[in-house]
Chains A and B, each alone.
Chain A
Amino acid sequence: MTTATSRLSADDLDATFAALADRTRRAMIAKLARGEASVLELAEPHDMSQPAISKHLKVLERAGLITRSRDAQRRPCRLEPRRLKLVADWIATYREYWEESYARLDDVLQELQGQSTQKEKSHGTVTKTRSHRRPR
């Protein structure tokens, strides 16, 4: 797979998360995390027709989450952890996104506070009058 070194496109992410959004497919991934498995082995815990199982596997394959050996007759499925890693990296950006946003917000707030302090100074008398009126 070439995507390992490149960024995930929006479509890749879409396909990956759509694939992960299904309980049966997550169960398959959990099973494959323990090692490669045949289609039969993957189908075993699920009360599902063979075509339904194949369909799930195709979704996982298209999403880059699993690969299937082309040569062997058994065609075992294998987890493709790089894709999950890329997804995890992308998700880690949630935190970075907010950390960086807040760092920038700090700057904006500092500037805004500077402005409001100046305003208070230039309208000092108004503030004073108000504070006299306000009951304590």
Chain B
Amino acid sequence: MAPSQKLEVIVAPDKPTIVTRRTVDAPRALVFDAWTKPEYIKRWLGPRNMEMVVCDVDLRVGGGYRFVHRTPDGQEFGFHGTYREISRPDRMVSTYVFEMFPDAEAVETLVLEERDGRTTVITTTVHKSIQNRDAHLANGAMEAGMNEGYARLDELLPDIRRAA
């Protein structure tokens, strides 16, 4: 895999955001379609071992989507949202609710930047609070620290400490 095809996940310490960035080898109109048409979404969104059992898309401003993954052991994870802005082929804004935390609605912006036939996909997810964000995403320090052992857990949980 080319280095530019590495997924970047950027988590700001002081803002409730998650930014991801990944370059794909296709023009952005195709990427936009792959991102918004159920027949394609079904084929790529989610890990290979999960089946997408619901893939509803009503692609218009004010319309909604709902996706449900099923794990091999039968657990289902659903998420849904509403489209707020659809600007093919370079931008889309939608809300995002992970149904396990129904009150933690976030806003996701998809930006597609094309250069030389390749597209950099930038997603920005803005949660209502850092706590909500962290509930969805532990920062790398926490994860790495956990693997080292639990002896100095307080150092591994900067957000918890800051809040304290």
Chain A residues proximal to chain B, CB less than 8 Å:
7, 9-10, 13-14, 17, 20-21, 23, 26-27, 29-31, 33-34, 79, 81, 84-85, 87-89, 91-102, 104-110, 112-113, 116
Contact = CB atoms under 8 A, between A and B. Distances in A.
B138 A87 contact: yes
Interface string B129-164: 001100111100011001000101110010111011
B26 interface: yes
Contacts of B100: 10, 13-14
A29 to B, nearest CB: 6
Interface of B: 5, 7, 9, 20, 22, 24-27, 30-31, 33-34, 40, 43-48, 73, 75, 77, 100-101, 121, 131-132, 135-138, 142-143, 146, 150, 152-154, 157, 159-161, 163-164
Given A26-B160, A84-B146, A98 B25 contact: no
B75 A101 contact: no
Contacts of B30: 109, 112-113, 116
A68 B111 CA distance: 49
Nearest to A22: B131
Most chain-A CB neighbours within 10 Å: which of B7, B75, B161?
A: B7
Nearest to B26: A109
Given A23-B164, A109-B30, A98 B146 contact: no
Given A102-B121, A110-B25, 5 more contacts: A87-B138, A88-B146, A91-B136, A102-B24, A113-B30
Contacts of A91: 136-138, 142-143
Contacts of B22: 98, 102
Nearest to A14: B100
A95 B75 CA distance: 19
